[in-house]
């Protein structure tokens, strides 16, 4: 069945196609109420479906928010996505999603695709990278976003500003105090923990991971303890699993000196991966090692033993990023260029020291 056209609606209503378009596509220039009603009745009779692109041109807005995440299967990003969706619903908008595996090159391609579709705003969630191999891609991503902002687009960013961006009026950054919260976690864990601390972090230059590692080391120093050993791996579950296998071998070889390692994984999915690796080698938490994560993802509700972590308001972070980047917002750009959230340390069984080592 062929779809009805705007020209057919105009003919049935006895008006010009331009008049029908102004009624159905939301233009500020609307005809008399009786003419507008006649056009709407004709559209209903013919089953006409309005063209979203034409509506966007008429309103100078597309009603679209582009969301870029590393991996939507990761509960951290899915929670942020729910917050973006909630903000979009408040504004009567729709969300377009792109996943990139965290590479600036793929993020640049996603930005270009969203800009071509005239997205009103773009939200980017995921750690920034200053690794040498990402230098050129960071430059290209910043240039693509600056071009988008110069053409009236708005960008919401979670955690860190875009590396190399030079159009600050178009950006809204949701600040997350990763370093401070990691320091608090270290201080909490240092009380009563006698084993050596080990950190499982992402690659050097992954800014979120670097902030959390730096904060945890500072917290240990504040507690009068030596720096923790740092094991670098991929900033995901697989990276945690690989690091967990290394630690399992050391624990079984007696390298923990008869005490339990206290492991800090720079995010919860790394912690989950590390625990899975330890279990695969017959080791148990907290009997053979203690472990803590960061983020308090929803998956932890069903994880055993309950994982000590830092709880972040992930959905609120997504909501703030989307609302802060909205073209509908009022007020000065300087006052709204940043918003912030905080989190809390949540101690659970995975770091209990009452259980004797096996």
Query: All domains of the chain, ordered by start, with CATH?
Result: 6-59 (1.10.260.40), 64-176+315-327 (3.40.50.2300), 178-311+344-351 (3.40.50.2300)
Q: 63-67, 270-274, 280-284, 322-326: which has the minimum mean pLDDT?
A: 322-326
Please state the φ and ψ torsions of residue 295, each to the nearest 5 degrees: 125, -35
Asked whether the predicted pLDDT for residue 33 surpasses 60, the reply is yes
User: For 178-188, what is each residue's pLDDT tens digit?
Assistant: 999 999 999 99
Q: 187-196, 221-230, 235-244: which has the minimum mean pLDDT?
A: 187-196
| Cα–Cα distance measured from residue 151 to residue 148, given in angstroms and rounded to the nearest whole number | 5
Q: 101-105, 122-126, 156-160: which has the minimum mean pLDDT?
A: 101-105
- Sorted by sequence, the CB contacts under 8 Å of residue 304 that are 6+ apart come out as none
Predicted local distance difference test score (pLDDT) of residue 57: 45
Predicted local distance difference test score (pLDDT) of residue 47: 72
Average pLDDT of 166-189?
92
Residue 19 vs residue 281, higher pLDDT: 281
Six-digit token string for 102: 């965290």
Residue 275 vs residue 41, higher pLDDT: 275
Predicted local distance difference test score (pLDDT) of residue 207: 96
Element (H, E) at 154: strand 154-158
- 3-state DSSP: the chain helix, strand, coil percent, rounded to 5? 45, 15, 35
Q: How confident is the model at residue 321 (pLDDT cuts 50, 70, 90)?
A: very high
- 223-226 contacts, C-beta under 8 A, 24 or more apart: 223/186, 223/187, 223/190, 223/191, 225/190, 225/197
Average pLDDT of 12-19?
82
Average pLDDT of 261-283?
97
Asked whether the predicted pLDDT for residue 234 surpasses 70, the reply is yes
Q: How confident is the model at residue 15 (pLDDT cuts 50, 70, 90)?
A: confident
| Cα–Cα distance measured from residue 61 to residue 66, given in angstroms and rounded to the nearest whole number | 13
Average pLDDT of 256-272?
89
Q: How far out from the chain centre does Cα 182 lie? A: 19
Average pLDDT of 210-218?
98
Q: How confident is the model at residue 32 (pLDDT cuts 50, 70, 90)?
A: confident
Predicted local distance difference test score (pLDDT) of residue 52: 52
Q: How confident is the model at residue 21 (pLDDT cuts 50, 70, 90)?
A: confident
Asked whether the predicted pLDDT for residue 11 surpasses 90, the reply is no
Residue 37 vs residue 88, higher pLDDT: 88
Asked whether the predicted pLDDT for residue 194 surpasses 70, the reply is yes
Predicted local distance difference test score (pLDDT) of residue 330: 46
Q: Is there a contact between 348 and 308 (Cβ–Cβ < 8 Å)?
A: yes
Asked whether the predicted pLDDT for residue 309 surpasses 70, the reply is yes
- Directed axis angle between helix 314-324 and helix 75-90, to 10°? 40
Predicted local distance difference test score (pLDDT) of residue 170: 86
Q: 58-62, 107-111, 221-225, 329-333: which has the minimum mean pLDDT?
A: 329-333
Average pLDDT of 194-220?
95
Task: Select from 13, 39, 14 the least CA-distant residue to 24.
Answer: 39
């Amino acid at each position: 069945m062929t779809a009805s056209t705007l020209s057919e609606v105009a003919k049935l209503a006895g008006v010009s196609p331009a008049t029908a378009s102004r009624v159905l596509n939301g233009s500020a220039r609307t005809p008399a109420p009786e003419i507008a009603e006649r056009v709407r009745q004709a559209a209903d009779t013919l089953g006409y479906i309005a063209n979203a692109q034409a509506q966007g041109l008429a309103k100078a807005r597309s009603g679209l928010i582009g969301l870029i995440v590393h991996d939507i299967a990761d509960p951290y990003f899915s929670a942020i996505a729910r917050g973006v969706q909630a903000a979009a619903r408040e504004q009567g908008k729709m969300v377009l999603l792109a996943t990139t595996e965290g590479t600036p090159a793929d993020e640049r391609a996603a930005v270009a695709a969203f800009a071509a579709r005239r997205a009103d705003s773009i939200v980017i969630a995921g750690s920034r990278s200053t690794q040498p191999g990402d230098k050129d891609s960071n430059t290209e991503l910043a240039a693509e976003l600056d071009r988008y902002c110069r053409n009236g687009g708005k960008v919401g960013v979670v955690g860190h500003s875009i590396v190399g961006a030079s159009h600050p009026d178009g950006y809204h950054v949701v600040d997350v105090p990763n370093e401070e919260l990691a320091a608090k976690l270290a201080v909490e864990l240092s009380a009563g923990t006698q084993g050596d601390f080990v950190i499982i972090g992402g690659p050097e230059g992954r800014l979120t991971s670097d902030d959390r590692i730096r904060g945890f080391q500072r917290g240990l120093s504040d507690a009068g303890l030596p720096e923790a050993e740092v094991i670098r791996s991929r900033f995901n579950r697989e990276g945690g699993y690989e690091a967990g296998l290394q630690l399992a071998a050391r624990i079984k070889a007696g390298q923990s000196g008869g005490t339990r390692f206290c492991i800090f994984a720079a995010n919860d999915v790394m912690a989950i991966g590390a625990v899975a690796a330890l279990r695969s080698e017959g080791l148990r938490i907290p009997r053979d090692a203690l472990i803590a994560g960061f983020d308090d993802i929803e998956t932890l509700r069903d994880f055993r033993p309950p994982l000590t972590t830092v709880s972040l308001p992930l959905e609120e972070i997504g909501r703030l990023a989307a609302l802060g980047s909205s073209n509908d917002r009022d007020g000065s750009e300087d006052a709204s260029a940043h918003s912030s959230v905080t989190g809390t340390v949540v101690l659970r069984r995975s770091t209990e020291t009452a259980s004797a080592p096996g």
